[in-house]
Copies of this chain bind each other. A is one copy, B any other.
Amino acid sequence: MYQTILNHIARDIELNEREEQEFCSILSEIKLNKKGVLINPGDLVTHEYFVVKGCLKSYYQDEKGNKHIMQFAIEDWWISDFEAFFNQTPAQLYVEAIEDSNLFGIEKNALEELYKRIPKFERFFRIKTTSAFVSLRYRILSSLQKSSSKQYVEFCRAYPQIEQRVTNYHIANYLGIKPESLSRIRKELAILNSN
């Protein structure tokens, strides 16, 4: 199980055996059943999580009970309520498993200590955070400039694995459209593709 996260890290930084062991020693293993909740609103968020296997979502539930999906996470992705994690404020999001999932958690203080002992991790998390930041800006920009149909096509292209693993409801919610609209878009695209 450790090899998955070590391979993930090796794409950006090189660790020797001692550093790998030191890193693995601060990880906690978490198993979550489908629909299991990792974070609830109001929680103190002490960890961020790496997905070894499975699929999760983070979402905000408004006063009327409507859910708004902020993020999906599958293998090799990181998830948490990041605002709450980094600023140490109470969680505002739910983080919940869509499938049975295996995760690694890293505790905030242990991570800060890791930066001191193995500064290469500054580089690793700089690269990961930059990529998350850019994706989020791209998502905002995409919602401003593209039709729902184009956004759906882009979503499928960017996240082909997610598109096959989550429900229509989830994708529609993430794109900020109604499930009926997504069904209509899919039908239109199917007709276009068959021509």
Q: By the criterion CB–CB under 8 Å, are A82 and B137 in contact? A: yes
- Tallying the copies of this chain within the complex gives 2
Cβ of A189 to closest chain B Cβ, rounded Å: 21
Task: Give Cα A133 to B136, complex, Å.
Answer: 8
Cβ of A151 to closest chain B Cβ, rounded Å: 14
In the assembled complex, which residues on chain B have CB atoms less than 8 Å from the CB atom of A137?
70, 82-83, 136
Chain A interface residue count, CB cutoff 8 Å, equals: 31
In the assembled complex, which residues on chain B have CB atoms less than 8 Å from the CB atom of A186?
none
Q: By the criterion CB–CB under 8 Å, are B140 and A70 in contact? A: yes
In the assembled complex, which residues on chain B have CB atoms less than 8 Å from the CB atom of A170?
none
- Quick one: CB contact mask for A35-79 with B, threshold 8 Å, 1 for yes? 000000000000000000000000010110000101000000000
A-B contacts, 9 of them at CB < 8 A, read: A60-B141, A62-B145, A70-B140, A82-B137, A119-B122, A125-B130, A129-B130, A133-B136, A140-B140
